[in-house]
Amino acid sequence: MDRHVEAFLEMLAAERGAARNTLGAYRADLDDFGAHARIRGIPPAEAPAVLVQSYLRALSDAGLSARTAARRLSALRQFFRFLVREGVRADDPTELSESPKLPAGLPKALSEAEVAALIAGAARLPGKRGPLAVALVELLYSSGLRVSELVALHAGALRADAPMIAVLGKGSKERLVPISRRAREAAQEARGEPSKPSRWLFPSRAAEGHITRQAVGAVLKDAALAAGLDPAHVSPHVLRHSFATHLLGRGADLRSLQILLGHADIATTQIYTKVLDERLRRVVEEHHPLSTG
C-alpha cells in the first residue's frame, strides 16, 4: 500500500469519521489508479495531469459507466488535495480534469393508483393530522407546487372565486397556478378556524410562522405508511414529478407544462419526455408478440 494513500485514508477515518465501507471504496479506487500509474513507471503521488487524463480515458475505453468514472475522479481529487495540504506536492493534477457528464436521472413518479391510495391513507391519519395530510397531498399533486411555494401560501390565497393563484417561484418569478376545487376544499377543511389570526394558509409555531418543509415531508411519510406505500418513495418532490408525468401522459404539451412548473428553460421540462419514452419501451417489450424482452 502506498504510504501517501495510507495517510490519506487515516485522515478520512480520524477527521471525517469515514466508515469502513467508505474507506474500502476509496482504497479500491486509489489502488486502481495506482496500478495505472506504476505500469507507466510513475509513483501515484507524483502523477502529472496527463496521467490523470490517460487514466480517465482508460476507464472510458474499458466501458465503465460515467458514474463510476466520476466517483473515481472524485476520490483522486480528494487524494491530491490532501497531498497539497500536507506539502507533499505543490500542485493538484486533477484541477483541470472535467467530471464525466452523468446522464440525467429520470424523475420518480407515483402511479395514479398510488396517488389515490396516498390520499386515502392521508384521510385515515388521526385527529387534525388527517385533514392536513389530505390538503398537502391534494395541493402538491393537483398543482405541481414546489414545497417551498406550498408552505408560503397566504391565508387568503385559495378563494372559491379564484381558480388560479399567483405563486412566487424560483428567482422571485411569479406565475399563475390552477388549484382544483378538491384541493381548495381540503385546504379550507385543514385550516379550520385558527386559534389566532395568521397570514399563512398553514400556520404553525415554527419561527417562520408557517408549516415547515420538513413538517410537510413528515406528514407525507405518515400518509404513505397509512396507505401501505414505501415512505422512502413519497415526498413533496415526488408528488410534483407525479403531477408533471401524469399530465404529459394524458396529452399535455411541454410548453404548458413548463409554465405550470415554473421552469425557466424548457430543457428542464423535457426530462419528462424520457419518462414517457421509458414507459412506452416497457409496454412494447412486455406486450409486443415479437419482443425478445
In this prediction, residues 31-36 reach a mean pLDDT of 94
pLDDT score of 166 more than 90: no
Instruction: Quote the pLDDT of residue 102.
Output: 63
Predicted local confidence at residue 275, as pLDDT? 67
Per-residue confidence band for 276, with pLDDT thresholds at 50, 70 and 90:
low
135 and 43 in a common domain: no
- Same domain membership, residue 235 and residue 200: yes
In the structure, what pLDDT confidence band is assigned to residue 239 with cuts at 50, 70 and 90?
Answer: very high
- Predicted confidence band at 144 (pLDDT cuts at 50, 70, 90)? very high
Q: What is the mean pLDDT of residues 108-135?
A: 94
Mean of per-residue pLDDT scores for the chain: 87
Look at residue 66 in the predicted model and tell me its pLDDT: 81
Give Cβ neighbours of residue 81 (< 8 Å, ≥ 6 apart): 92
Whether 39 and 181 share a structural domain: no
Write down the pLDDT at residue 64: 84
What is residue 97's predicted lDDT score, i.e. its pLDDT? 81
Residue 270: what pLDDT?
Answer: 79
Report yes or no on 106 lying in a domain: no
pTM exceeds 0.85:
no
Q: Residues 163, 265: one domain?
A: yes
> What domain count does the chain have?
2
26 is catalytic: no
Asked whether the CA dihedral 205, 210, 213, 215 is positive or negative, the reply is positive
Place 292 in a pLDDT band, splitting at 50, 70 and 90: low
Is residue 196 annotated as a catalytic residue, yes or no? no
Same domain, 59 and 146: no
* Residue 114 CB contacts under 8 Å (≥ 6 apart), including other chains: 227, 229
Range from 27-36, 95-104, 197-206, 284-293 that averages highest in pLDDT: 27-36
Using the predicted structure, report yes or no on whether residue 107 has a pLDDT greater than 70.
no
Quick check: is 237 catalytic?
yes
176: Cβ contacts below 8 Å, ≥ 6 apart:
164, 165, 166, 167
Is 146 one of the annotated active-site residues of the chain?
Answer: yes
Residues 80 and 116 in one domain: no
Q: Are residues 67 and 190 in the same domain?
A: no
| 148 and 25 together in one domain | no
Instruction: Provide the residue range defining the domain that includes 208.
Output: 112-285
Q: What pLDDT score was predicted for residue 72?
A: 92
Q: If we measure between CA atoms, which residue out of 104, 66, 103, 101 comes closest to residue 268?
A: 104
Task: State residue 76's pLDDT score.
Answer: 95
Task: Return d(Cα 140, Cα 236) in angstroms, integer.
Answer: 7
Q: Residue range 121-141: average pLDDT?
A: 95
Catalytic residue among 16, 170, 173, 181: 170
Please calculate the CA angle 9-91-6 and round it to the nearest 5 degrees.
15
Residue 170 annotated to the active site: yes
- Cα–Cα dist 140/26, whole Å: 40
pLDDT given for residue 98 in this prediction: 81
Span of 38-47, 80-89, 189-198, 223-232 with lowest mean pLDDT: 189-198
Choice between 103 and 192, residue whose per-residue pLDDT is larger: 192
Query: Annotated catalytic residue: which of 146, 184, 210, 241?
Result: 146
CATH number of the domain bearing residue 224 = 1.10.443.10
- 61-65, 123-127, 142-146, 166-170: which has the minimum mean pLDDT? 166-170
User: DSSP characters for the chain?
Assistant: --HHHHHHHHHHHHHS---HHHHHHHHHHHHHHHHHHHHTT--GGG--HHHHHHHHHHHHHTT--HHHHHHHHHHHHHHHHHHHHTTS-S--TTTTPPPPPPPPPPPP---HHHHHHHHHHHHTSSTTHHHHHHHHHHHHHHH---HHHHHT-BTTS--TT-SEEEEE-GGG-EEEEE--HHHHHHHHHHH-S-SS--SBSSB-SSTTSB--HHHHHHHHHHHHHHHT--GGG--HHHHHHHHHHHHHHTT--HHHHHHHHT-SSHHHHTHHHHHHHHHHHHHHHHH-TT---
72 is catalytic: no
Burial of 239: CB neighbours in 10 Å, binned 0-12, 13-18, 19+: buried
Examine the domain organization and report whether 130 and 231 are in the same domain: yes
Q: Which of 66, 85, 104 is the last residue of a domain?
A: 85
**pLDDT tens per residue across span 185-203:** 999 899 887 777 888 999 8
Q: How far is CA 265 from CA 24, 59, 255, 259, 275, in A?
A: 41, 33, 10, 10, 18
